[in-house]
Structure 1
Amino acid sequence: MQSYVNWRVAKVYWKLRAVMADRKITNKALAEELGMNPVSISKLKSNDLLPEIGGEALANICQAISKLSSRECSPSDLIKYVSD
């Protein structure tokens, strides 16, 4: 007899779009701070779920947002974990 486990699916939401809007940071400004193209920032912002980025990239984004907005940014500002 085969047993099945009921797995709950968790989602990790990406809030970059909301954080940038709240702090009035443009794609161009964040791109310049990170040494990226504004189109790349636009693509990164368009995700509702956390994109596959590493911890270093996440830290760099937080540092850039902190510098541009004069308010501290932490990874918890950019991600939201929701378990179903």
Structure 2
Amino acid sequence: MIINKLSEIMGRKRLKISDVVDGTGLARNTVTELYHGRAKRIDLETLDKLCLYLNVSVGEIFEHEGERKKSLPAD
């Protein structure tokens, strides 16, 4: 499962959705869906804009959690 931590980051930085929209140029609906954890996918350009604006890495916005059902053989 992928955990979206955008709302957590925005809370720590005391940012509103409108701040992120204005600062990134992203559509309000895009930021709102991500903020509330309702987005099913994200465009790489969107992710890049969020990372640059928030000054965070991809791994700080999204976290992978859960068990691995199948794994590739070791190198």
> Which TM-score tier does this pair reach, normalised by the shorter chain?
0.7 to 0.9
Distance (Å, rounded) in 1 between the aligned partners of 2:7 and 2:43: 18
1:37 shift after superposition: 4.3
SS in 2 for 1:80: strand
CA distance in 1, matches of 2:30, 2:43: 16
TM-score, normalised to structure 2, is 0.74
Rg (Cα) greater in structure? 1
Q: Say whether residues 1:41 and 2:31 are aligned partners.
A: yes
Secondary structure at the counterpart of residue 29 of structure 1: helix
What amino acid maps onto 2:24 in structure 1? L
Q: What is the DSSP-based 3-state SS (H/G/I as helix, E as strand, rest coil) of the residue aligned with 1:21?
A: helix
1:57 deviates by 1.5
Cα distance in 1 for partners of 2:29, 2:43 equals 20
Structure 1 ranges of 4+ moved more than 3 A: 36-40
* Alpha-carbon distance in structure 2 between the residues aligned to 1:45 and 1:64: 15
- Partner Cα separation in structure 2 for residue 63 and residue 39 of structure 1: 19
- Alignment-mate amino acid for residue 16 of structure 2: T
Structure 1 unaligned blocks of 5 or more? 1-10, 67-72
TM-score (normalised: structure 1): 0.67
Identity among equivalent pairs (%): 15
CA–CA separation in structure 2 for the residues paired with 1:54 and 1:42: 15
